[in-house]
Structure formats: structure tokens, C-alpha cells
Structure 1
Amino acid sequence: MKQDLSLLIQALDSSISGIILTDNQQPDNPIIYCNKAFERITGYRRHEIIGHNCRFLQKEDRNQKERLVLRKAVDDGTECVVEMRNYQKNGTLFWNELYMSPIKDERGNVCYFIGVQNDITRRKKAEQELLHQQSVMEAQIQERTRSLRESEDYLSSIVQTVRESLVVLDPGFKVLSVNDHFLKTFKVTKEETEGKLLYELGNGQWDIVQLKELLESILPTNNPVEEFEVEHDFPHIGKKLMLLNAHRIELEGQYKDRILIAIEDITDRRELERRKDDFLSIASHELKTPLTTIKGYVQVMQRLLPETVSDKFKDILRKTGVYVERLNTLISELLDMSRIQTGNIELHKETFDFDRAIHEAVENIQTATKTHQIIIRGQATNSYTGDESHIVQVINNLLSNAIKYAPESGEVQVYLSRVSNYLKVSVSDKGMGIKIEDQKKIFDRFYRVGDIQQRFPGMGIGLYVCDQIIKNHGGTLWVESEPAQGSTFSFTLPLDERKSDEQ
């Protein structure tokens, strides 16, 4: 039996078609298996796929009518074939021909769905190209070329006023032109620059290994390249940390075969960020000690209160304890963030009962809140090796956010499950929800959604810390949300050491 299963997995991994299995018995029909071809076609690795619903491949492109066909087939437990737009991890569009079929048990209940997908992007592109007549295409190209020539002087003046260094190269990396900002920043003249090979500028100052990698290895296979970081010590102007954007211009006519490089000097900005991180770290450490003392005194006062003390005094002392605890949590998050930024965060991994730890965390939060009922369902595992305190910190943060940002819903749901060789935890609320454009940024440090920032206090570091904790455990944290419909934050954690091979 074990040999047959191994042979089946080898056969599936040998297929050129992407194959997935989803579990219809679990909420949201999560993916529980994918073969190698599915990883290759989508660009995602296995640990980023398992536990997600297939819809994550559509990213923001959720209004395709084919999704309704898929949803009806899932609801009816029937098979279907659709062609739809999907997006790889790097954002590249590909057309997916998906065959989906239910797997039923002996009683006829749908337990799983199997999906087989093929990348038909080339076929779709050919179909679309046949719709355009050659004469129309030539007319468009001629019109664009004419417009570019008429706008040359105008564009040139814009380039000269841009507050970034711009360089235009030919395919052999010879400098065709630079703007004034480049000349001022790197203290060179046009005569020393234009017509020269980029690597030979300034007696080899631009012969930089990272720059060669960008131009010769990365740009030809991934056009454009954005935010490529290069650090170099220039003999005359000192060490510079630069952020490069490179783009191959693929036009006909005068501007054919050009490489445009935009160079942003972020040396000062990065130094300011480092100083800010140092300040936050030092300030957090300095505040932690006296705050711990204050917290201890408040607890002692609460224990030693005489029976004759007024209710108003008791309430004031209670509120003092609440605000001290809030401040303590904030400082702890700042400390965690500073440790993450400096690479000093430590994980103390031990084997513990994961489900019990989650239940205890939920009970603690439930005891502290009277406005919401926290419902916990499912089970993941009673044996997981990781940093228990950090995992509990993630759960506490997600639950606190669910309560905080859904003040009128009255209910928060926690679902535990095991998906393939991963455990999965989801925290759902029926609150205000998060816009698609904000979902990409909420795990960045200090980022807060505009309308939320006005209504709810906070610094925007909790989700950043949670995301880093989960990543340090080899897992993935994500959110699914719609405005006014609530949010579901989920994370997966690998249950064995295979994660080191998959990442």
C-alpha cells in the first residue's frame, strides 16, 4: 500500500499538468495537495499553497464570470471546465484551463475535489493576436513613433528635472545619455560619461558585481527590474547605497533597444531608518524597567485595598492597571520589532500541545472581554515544536484585532485544522473589513489604514511582528477580507522538517 502511494505521488509529480486536491469537508475548501507542475505553473512554493482556497490565484481580478461557474459546481458537487485569468506569484498573468471534478465517498457525499490545470497563455495570446489586422497594428506603431518624435524635447526637459539619476544605455551597455542629477550626484561631466562603457566610467568605478548581475542576468529574463539594491564605495564620493529600477525599452524606430536605469540614492534615508530603529530599541528598553515596577505596584495596591475604600477609587485603580498593561504590550511589540530589524529575535523551540495552548489563549482573551463571544472549532495537533510564547502572542494579537475592529459584531470565530503536513489557524470577524489595496500593506511596519487610523488608536506594528514570527517558524500569514463583510486572518505552520526543502 505504501509503495503504491509513493508510486502514485511520483506519477502525479511527473505530470506536465498542475494537479491539486481540495478538502470539501473543511471550511473554504482548502488545498491539501499540489504536484510539482502546479508549483512551476503558478510560481508559488508548496508551503505558500497548502491551506489556501484556489481563489488566491486570481489576486484582485475577482470579477471573472468563470468564478461563478466554479462556485456553482462546488455547491452542486459536479464537474466543470473553465478558462480563466490567473496570476503567478510575481504578478505575471497566465491563462488557466481548469478541469475540476468531485471525489465522492461510498454514500455519494462529496469529500474532495481534484483540479487539473494547464497553462494556455500561448494559445490565448495567439487567438487575441489573430483578432488584430496587420494594417491596424502598423498604423498604431507609426502613430506612437510620430508622437514620441514630436515629444522628444518635452520629454528631455522632464528627464532633466527629475530628482533621480537617470542613465540610458545601448544593448552593449554603452552610455547614450544621462541627466543633470546623475552628473551632480556622481561628480562627473557629460564628456566623461556619454559614449563610454558603463563599467569603465571613472576608471572602473562602475565595475560593480551587483550592477553586472542586474544588467546581464536579471534584466534579460525579468523586464522591468524594480528596487534592486546596490551598495558601493566610490573613491571620490564615498559609500553609496542605491536603489535601481531598470527597464528595457521595446519600441520600434528611434528608441529601439534601449536600457533605462533610474538610480535613487537612499544612503541618508537608510541611515535615518537605522537611527530610528536604534532609538526605538533604546527607548523601549529604558521604558520597560520602570513600567514593570509601576505594574507591580498597581498589582500590590489592588491586593492590599482595604474593604472601606470607595468604588470610585477601585475603578480608577482598575483602569490604571488596564492602561499600564496596554502600554506594556506596546513596549513589548516595539522591542520585538527592534529585535526583528536587527536580526536578534530568538526563538526558543520546544514541543508543546498546540491545541491546548490556543484554547488557553482564547480563554484568557474571553475572560478579559464582555462584548464578544469567541467560538473555537476544529483541532490541529497536540504536538508541535516551536516557540509557544511567540505563537500565543500571534493568537492574542489576531483575537484582539478581531474584537477591536469589529465592535458591533459580538462574535469572533477561531478554526483549527490540519491541512496536509501543515497546521492551519484562522481567526474571523464580521467587522469593517479591509480594502484590497490595503491588504498588501497591512503587514508592513507602522502601516495603518487611513479610516481605521482615525477611529482606533495604534501604531501599526502588531501585524508586522506577527508576520515575522510566523515566517521565522517557516509558515505563512495572510488575510482575506471585503469591506463591510469582515476579515479572516489565517496562518499555516509546517509540522515536519520538510519545510527546509520547500522554501
Structure 2
Amino acid sequence: MSHETAKEDFSLLLQALDASISGIILTDNRLPDNPIIYCNKAFETISGYQRNEIIGHNCRFLQKEDRDQKEREKLRNAIRNGESCIVDIRNYHKDGTLFYNELYMSPIKDDQGRVSYFIGVQNDVTHRKKAELDLRHQQQLMEKRISERTQSLKESEDYLASIVQTVRESLIVLDPDFRVLSVNDHFLKTFKVTTGDTIGKLLYDLGNGQWNIASLKELLENILPTNNPVEEFEVEHDFPHIGRKLMVLNAHRIELEGQYKDRILIAIEDITDRREIERRKDDFLSIASHELKTPLTTIKGLVQIMQRTVPPELGEKFRSVLEKTGVYVDRLNNLIAELLDVSRIQTGNIELHKDLFDFDKSVHEAVDTIQAATKSHQIQVSGNTGEMISADESHIVQVINNLLSNAIKYAPDHREIEVYLSQVSNFVKFSVKDQGMGIRMEDHKKIFDRFYRAGEIQQRFPGMGIGLYICDQIIKNHGGTLWVESEPGKGSTFSFTLPLNTQAT
């Protein structure tokens, strides 16, 4: 077969896979943790993730926190034994929505009979599973539910009405023509109106037209009917009597049959003050960081001059004090540099200067630098990518240094740190594994938030909780992803991917 024929056949195969309505993935069993190296378009549609968020991950990321399913043990045994298997497993869409996945998994073996890859064919069978579960549940509880509903209907209505009136958000119920059916007390107080001013009125006519807001019309008339529900929709408007308000709207159209059909529920959260506080905090952070930078640079210079000009008669104790002063000045300087990075990220002023560089070489140089500064841990590097990537080398090295420093910091009783490099499809992948205290599942996403620190870590280790936030933003700005795999008491593995092509994907 000629090279051109093989290339044409391969292109045809990829087109066929992308045309499939079933999700198809390939995982590389030769690499640690059996990462995904290929997915078709249908898999992206089924999972809700884009390709750059999928490549390099183990398939378990689809189960999120739901890790106790017996089907996972069946999959592990099949992978361990190099066998095929079929399971129905609970997975979660990127937005957190549960869906049931019918998975057919088979090994792909090389000429020596060793399992090199696994292919997974997946179908969303949520409707079938829900129908089965609903039918079973209805058969068991129908009679009991009818009697309980009849008995407690009035009580429930009163209870729900009390909740609606005491909730700290403005709530509106509209009919299909956008006329107000009811509002809660918080809405009346916030927008300084009465029930007579609202009930039965067209929403856009409220307050002499002050609710005639273009973005609100777009939400109700164009977005909501095609995307039910709508969450975290921001609306900013200057109201005549109460001033400018920044609001977050959550809207839901009731699609049930009966008297409540097509009613629209809107919850309004006023975040004007909160956003202003955040803006002031970011301004303070930026100003304070810049103002501290100048005198600290002067202090560092003076300490260095003193270190070079110490008279011999002052002795070793004085030299030791100066050396410790220099160390703490450097720590403070690094902290201020991180605060400046946070400020730049928040204001959208982070600058990336991309250029081609040898990824493996940069990783090894960063490891050598960290290793030279610590005697308590041994860092082992394995694997390679053999690739030149287009990225901001200084920022990528900053991420690597932070992850390595964290691995050392949070595993003080374990000497070994493992670094692994690999190429996964058209991405390079970096992983650093420690044997430290580990991280709870519920903290996996939060640790990348600004200023977040898990309770146990906060008690045992100093820090401000901005290092991982900066790392996450840098990797995202390069078109990659940063994530963690960890369990309490079993250490942590932090990994990131970066695209090989020069454009962020």
C-alpha cells in the first residue's frame, strides 16, 4: 500500500469516526493512568467537554465525585486483565448534569499480544435508564404518594409560600405573555414598588418602563425558550429611583401541562455592592503590590551591599543574621510578585510572550534548580515529549516551579517526588506526583480558586492560596488544562497539558 493510499485511508477512517453518533475514544495503555489520546465529535457532544479538556485525562474524570459505582471495579478488572467489557455507568456532563453511559470497551493488542490501547464506544442511554428507574419507583410508591400528597397539599403550599417570602433574593412569576403573576417581599423592598404596581402588569411596563431592558428582553424572548433554564445571566441597568444595579438572573420556564404551564420563574440577585467590593479589593491589591515593590527592592539592594561589605571582625553570627534577612526578603519579594500576577490576571493585563522552546529541556532545568535548593526530597524525572512548543517559557516555568514547590511543601515526610513527561495526541503533558497528605474530592475544583485554602492545609502550612490560581490561569491562557488527582492520605498528582500547535485551542 502506498503512502498516499494509507494517508487517504486514515483520513477516511477519521471522517467515519466523527460521523458516528456513538462517542468513541482511544486510551494509551502504555502511558501511566491510561490517558485518553483520541475522541470523536460525538464524545464531545455526549460529555459536553471540548477536545482540549478531554485529551490526557483518564476516563474516570466523567464520574466526578461519584466514584463508588460497582461498574468502576468491573472496568478496572477488564483493563487489568486486558479484556473486553460492557457496563452502564453514571457519568456527568461538564455542567454537572447526570447522564447514563452505555460503554463497550475492548483492548487493542500489538504483534506480541500486549495490550497497547483500549477503544471505548459510548452511547447516552439516560432516557432508557430513567424510564426503567421511574417505572420501578412508581410501581412501589404510587399508592403511598397519592395519599401523602392529598393530605399535605395545603400544608406544603403554606410552607413554600413562607420560603418564597423570606428568601434573600427577588423572585418574580410571569405568565407566557410576560405579565406579573406574583412577586415576593424582597422584590418589593429592593425595587421600591407595591403589589398594586406590579401584579397583572406587563414586566416591561413596571415603574413607567424602567424594566424595559434590552438584555432582559433578549433573555426572556430569545434565550429562555431555546435554553431552559438560564443561569447566571448578568443584567446591568440604571433604575430611575434606586440607581444603577448589577443583577444576576436565573430564569426557568415551567413546561408541565396544566394550570402552571409555561409560567416563567425569575430569581434576581443584586450583586452591585459585592462587585464593587471585589473591584475595590482588586484595586487595593494592585496598588499595594506596586507600592510595596519599590521599597522592597531598595531593602534587598541594601542587604546585598551589607553582605558584600561585612567587616571580618563582626563574626559569623552577624553574617548568618544577614543571610536569613536576605532569605526572608526574597520570600516577601516572591509573595508580592504573586500578588502582582493576581492583579494582572483580574484586570486582564496578563501578557504572554510566546516563542518556540524545548519543553523537555525547560522542565529538566526547572527540576535541577529546585533540586539544588532542597536536600530533603529527591525529584525523579521520567518520560519525554521530544517537542518544541510555542508558549511563554517564563510563565510555563513559573507553573512548573510552583507545582514542584507544592509537592515538596505538602509532603514533608516523604522524600520522593515523581515527574512524568509525555506526548498525548497533539498535546504535551506534565505530571508531578507526591506522597503527601492528599486533597479531599470536594476541594479538587476549589483549590484553583483565588485565595482558597483547604481547612487542613490552612492549619498546617502557611500561604495565601494564590499559587494554584495563577498556575491555572496561565495554563488556560495557553489553551491547556490543569487538574489534580488526589485522595486524603494517598498523595496528589497535578497535571497540565499544553497544545503543540502555535494557536491556543
Shift of 1:400: 1.0
| Partner-residue secondary structure (3-state), 1:177 | strand
Hey, what does 1:5 align to over in structure 2?
A: 10
Amino acid at match of 1:376: V
Amino acid at match of 1:480: E
Hey, what does 2:90 align to over in structure 1?
A: 85
Amino acid at match of 1:97: E
Question: 1:19–1:116: 8 Å Cα contact kept in structure 2?
Answer: yes
Amino acid at match of 2:294: T
Distance 2:411 2:223 in 1: 45
Hey, what does 2:471 align to over in structure 1?
A: 466
- The answer to whether 1:207 aligns with 2:206 is no
Distance 1:378 1:445 in 2: 32
Moved more, 455-464 or 310-319: 310-319
- The answer to whether 1:398 aligns with 2:403 is yes
Shift of 1:305: 4.1
Give the 5 Å matches for 1:81-120: 81-120=86-125
Question: When the two structures are aligned, how many residues end up with a matched partner?
Answer: 500
Shift of 1:248: 4.2
- The answer to whether 1:351 aligns with 2:356 is yes
Shift of 1:436: 1.1
Give the 5 Å matches for 1:446-457: 446-457=451-462
Amino acid at match of 1:396: N
Shift of 1:8: 0.9
1:172-201: CA deviations, max 9, x gaps? 322111122211211222111011121221
1:101-160: CA deviations, max 9, x gaps? 111111111111111111111221222233244694475256346534223334333433
Amino acid at match of 1:21: L
Amino acid at match of 1:332: A
Mark the CA change 1:218 to 1:422 in structure 2 (over 3 Å): closer, same or farther. Answer: same
1:341-373: CA deviations, max 9, x gaps? 111111111111111111111111111111111
Percent identical among aligned pairs is 76
TM-score (norm 1): 0.94
Mark the CA change 1:413 to 1:308 in structure 2 (over 3 Å): closer, same or farther. Answer: farther
Tell me, which stretches of 5 or more residues in structure 1 are unaligned?
A: none
Shift of 1:12: 0.7
Distance 1:133 1:405 in 2: 50
TM-score (norm 2): 0.94
1:316-355: CA deviations, max 9, x gaps? 2222222111111110111011111111111111111111
Question: 2:107–2:117: 8 Å Cα contact kept in structure 1?
Answer: yes
| Partner-residue secondary structure (3-state), 1:129 | helix
Distance 1:238 1:361 in 2: 53
- The answer to whether 1:385 aligns with 2:394 is no
Question: 1:98–1:117: 8 Å Cα contact kept in structure 2?
Answer: yes
Hey, what does 2:492 align to over in structure 1?
A: 487
Hey, what does 1:244 align to over in structure 2?
A: 249
Amino acid at match of 2:35: P
Q: Quick one: which of 79, 89, 98 aligns to 1:74?
A: 79
Moved more, 137-146 or 226-235: 137-146
Distance 2:426 2:11 in 1: 16
Distance 2:224 2:314 in 1: 73
Q: Quick one: which of 149, 156, 179 aligns to 1:151?
A: 156
- The answer to whether 1:166 aligns with 2:171 is yes
Distance 2:163 2:47 in 1: 39
Give the 5 Å matches for 1:313-328: 313-328=318-333
CA RMSD of aligned residues (A): 2.1
Shift of 1:249: 5.0
Distance 2:83 2:309 in 1: 68
Question: 1:47–1:499: 8 Å Cα contact kept in structure 2?
Answer: no
Q: Quick one: which of 273, 280, 286 aligns to 1:275?
A: 280
Amino acid at match of 2:472: D
- The answer to whether 1:443 aligns with 2:451 is no
Shift of 1:426: 0.7
Give the 5 Å matches for 1:113-262: 113-133=118-138, 136-137=141-142, 140=145, 143-144=148-149, 147-220=152-225, 222-248=227-253, 257-262=262-267
Shift of 1:295: 1.9
Shift of 1:459: 0.9
Question: 1:433–1:484: 8 Å Cα contact kept in structure 2?
Answer: yes
Distance 2:8 2:354 in 1: 34
Shift of 1:247: 3.6
Mark the CA change 1:142 to 1:244 in structure 2 (over 3 Å): closer, same or farther. Answer: farther
Moved more, 355-364 or 249-258: 249-258
| Partner-residue secondary structure (3-state), 1:360 | helix
Tell me, which stretches of 5 or more residues in structure 2 are unaligned?
A: 1-5
Amino acid at match of 2:102: E
Give the 5 Å matches for 1:267-306: 267-306=272-311
Mark the CA change 1:199 to 1:360 in structure 2 (over 3 Å): closer, same or farther. Answer: same
Mark the CA change 1:304 to 1:107 in structure 2 (over 3 Å): closer, same or farther. Answer: farther
Amino acid at match of 1:288: K
| Partner-residue secondary structure (3-state), 1:483 | coil
Shift of 1:22: 0.6
Amino acid at match of 2:247: M
Distance 1:157 1:133 in 2: 30
Distance 1:485 1:70 in 2: 21
